[in-house]
Structure 1
Amino acid sequence: MDQKLTEAEAIAQLVVSPSVEFYDDMPPLAFVPEGNGKYEMHSMEQHLFSPRRKKGTVKLHELASFIDVVKKQGSLTSTNIYLDVDYAQSRIQATAVFNDHTDNAVGAGWRDHRATYLPRFSEEWHRWINTSGKQMAQVELAHFLERNIADIAGNSESKLPSGSEVLTFVSKLEETRKVKYGSAVNLQNGMVQFEFVEDGDSNTKGKLDMFREFAIGVRPFQHGDAYQVKAFLRYRIDRNTGEIKFWFELQRADKVLEDACKEMIETIKSSAGVPVLFGTPE
Structure 2
Amino acid sequence: MSTEAESVTSIAQQAVEPRKVEVGTVYAVADGSGGIRVVDTDGYDLSPRHKAANRTVTDAISFVTYVNRHCLPGTEVYAHTSASSVVAVIDSHEGTDSLPGWQKHKLTLGLEHTKAWLAWVARDLGTNERAWMSQQEFAEFIEDRALDVHDPDHARLIELATKFEATTKVEFGSAVRLDNGEVKFEYTETVGPRKGNKGGIDLPKELKLGLRPYIGGPIYYVFASLRYRMRSEGLVLGVALQRPENILEAAFADIVTEIRDGIEEKDGKPGHPGIGDVPIFYGKP
Distance in 1 (CA, whole Å) between partners of 2:48 and 2:180 is 71
Q: What one-letter code is carried by the residue in structure 1 that aligns with 2:182?
A: M
- The alignment status of 1:194 with 2:185, answered yes or no, reads yes
Aligned-residue offset at 1:228? 0.8
* Letter of the 2:227 counterpart: R
Percent of counterpart pairs with the same letter? Answer: 30
The answer to whether the 8 A contact 1:193-1:207 is kept is: yes
Query: 2 CA distance for matches of 1:14 and 1:193?
Result: 93
Mapped to 2, the partners of 1:106 and 1:225 lie a distance apart of: 39
The one of 54, 59, 62 equivalent to 2:56 is: 59
Change (3 A) 1:234 1:34: closer
Distance (Å, rounded) in 2 between the aligned partners of 1:126 and 1:71? 32
Structure 1 counterpart of 2:39, from 39, 42, 61: 42
5+ residue gaps in structure 2? 1-7, 126-130, 262-273
Matched with 1:232 is: 225
269-278 or 185-194: bigger deviation: 185-194
Mapped pair 1:123 → 2:115: yes
Contact 2:61 2:259 in 1 (8 A): no
The answer for the alignment partner of 1:272 in structure 2 is: 275
> Structure 1 residues 14 and 141 mapped into 2: Cα distance closer, same or farther (>3 Å)?
closer
Partner of 1:140: 137
1:158 aligned residue: none
CA separation of 1:12 and 1:259: change in aligned 2, threshold 3 A: closer
Match of residue 170, structure 1, among 154, 161, 166: 161
Q: 1:241-252 alignment to 2 at 5 Å?
A: 243-252=234-243
CA distance in 2 between counterparts of 1:38 and 1:19 reads 21
The answer to whether the Cα contact below 8 Å between 2:29 and 2:36 also exists between their aligned partners in 1 is: yes
SS in 1 for 2:252: helix
* Counterpart secondary structure, 1:153: strand
User: What is the aligned residue count?
Assistant: 258
- TM-score, with normalisation over the residues of structure 1? 0.83
RMSD: 2.5
CA distance in 2, matches of 1:135, 1:146: 16
Q: 1:232 Cα deviation (Å)?
A: 1.1
**Paired position in structure 1 for 2:173:** 182
C-alpha distance in 2, partners of 1:180/1:137? 14
Q: How far, CA to CA, are the matches of 1:138 and 1:183 in structure 2?
A: 16
Gap change, CA 1:194 and 1:103, over 3 Å in 2 = closer
Equivalent residue, structure 2, for 1:221: 214
Change beyond 3 A, Cα 1:163–1:230:
same
- 2:160 paired with 1:151: no
Tell me, in whole angstroms, the C-alpha distance in 2 between the residues paired with 1:18 and 1:31.
Answer: 16
User: Aligned partners of 1:107, 1:30: CA distance in 2, in Å?
Assistant: 25
TM-score scaled by length of structure 2 = 0.82
**Contact 1:179 1:198 (8 Å CA) reproduced:** yes
Deviations 1:245-272 (A, max 9, x none): 1111111111111110110111122211
- In 2, the alpha carbon distance for the partners of 1:13 and 1:280 equals 49
Matched residue, 1:4? none
Aligned equivalents of 1:80, 1:18: Cα separation in 2: 45
Contact 1:80 1:100 in 2 (8 A): yes
The Cα of 1:105 is off from its aligned counterpart by 5.3
**Contiguous gaps of at least 5 residues in structure 1:** 1-7, 155-160
Query: Match for 1:81 among 31, 56, 77?
Result: 77
Q: CA deviation at 1:73?
A: 0.4
1:84–1:92 contact (8 Å) kept in structure 2? yes
